[in-house]
Structure 1
Amino acid sequence: MTFSSDPASVLPSLALLSYRVRVLPMDAASMVKMPEHTVLFLDARDDLATAKTICNLIQASGLAIPIVLVLTEGGFTVVNTQWGVTDVVVNTASPAEVECRIRLASQRTADVSHSDEPSDAADVNGVIRCGELVVDTDGYTASLRSVPLDLAYKEFELLKYLVQHPGRVFTRAQLLQEVWGYDYYGGTRTVDVHVRRLRAKLGTEYDHLIGTVRNVGYRFDLPESMSPSHSTTVSDDGSDGAGH
């Protein structure tokens, strides 16, 4: 990710390795274009302030993506743990060093992802439980604290889609495409309207579950109580069991 008109100059050694490289501009919209299994090299050679802002946005979005900050020698003095980066590398690093940092960054992120797996919303037999919110994707019903939510069809579809991808950020355009479909010609404003209605029906205590990522879009935030000791699944006989 870089502002440079010559992306190859950011980390020259990367071009000598057998990895597929995709160049993205340094803006918030690029975050939703990142494919899975990505290591993000973030160009911080000339603009440390913007690089830090992008790092903070990625953290806020919940994207589990390893970030390797590309720096000049002088940049090492300002980077700290608050940046949320996985690793740093000097822009003149050798191919062997760059490959090593890619390997280590990928492994660190994989280890963190595996440790977080029990916190995901449990989806068993079409029933997704997120704390006190239960979404029955087959029965097209949702309830909060065992009280049914009166949702219109598209409100339910939007809630279902977000709940099925907890922590993932979607732009309005993406949600419009996934929930309303390719043949819908309305504007993205309809997404904002439906999000507002959903939040109203969730109530003030739970409206924060549908989070806004500024300048990007929306995501579903798992309740704070969702942990290995709190998450539950529905077993085949309909009884509650310990989540995995």
Structure 2
Amino acid sequence: MNILMIEDNHSVCEMMAMFFKKNQWQYEFAYDGVAGEQKFADQPDKWDIILLDLNLPKKDGMQVAADIRRISPIVPLIMLTARDTESDQVLGLEIGADDYVTKPFSPITLVARIKALHRRSQLGQLNQQQQQAESDFDVQTDHFKMNTKTREVYLYGKPVNDLTPKEFDLLKTLASKPRQVFTRSQLLQLVWDYEYYGDERTVDAHIKKLRQKLEDIGPQVIKTVWGVGYKFDDEGE
């Protein structure tokens, strides 16, 4: 694995370097937002995981995240933040982060998050490589169809474009079992591949972003079941 960590705290970088070496991962550090963004832009295909602090000199981490997402909508991105307000954390996820870790954090926890996110990313790439594109859609409901091999998605006959990998996986999980209610913890385990290290607000933020993309097409198909979780339901729409 090749990791780019954009973090201005040298002590944090030195601590994480020990864990990266232990796992035999390659890594590089950038200590401000401008340098980090440039390092990514120079070789966007090089990196398997981006670790991005929000409080950076020269350029704020939120803006760096948005710029990275414009370059690559799929590179796995974990935000590191000392900001403890929910609005900051949710905004980071909405901009395009796949996950976030609040400082001070346990290196073991961060390593677990990295492994889980990388595993999901690798499985998705492997499936694409092993399976040839087919014209049929393997997930279909009343008004929805998805080809998980070609990653084509249609809702009400219109294409759903620009889904991030996590948004695609989340939509697939819900639509594969229409009208079944999934709790947030279940979605964390199924989509993010971790149970004990997850934060359920990760699910809420991705649901919100996914809904914004779907509501441009037609009636909303991702329904909230209050006090329980979410379900996909396009019956009778």
Is this a same-fold pair by TM over 0.5? no
- Which of structures 1 and 2 has the bigger CA Rg? 1
Structure having greater relative contact order (Cα 8 Å, sep ≥ 6): 1
Query: TM-score interval w.r.t. the shorter chain?
Result: 0.3 to 0.5
What's the TM-score once normalised by structure 1's chain length?
0.38
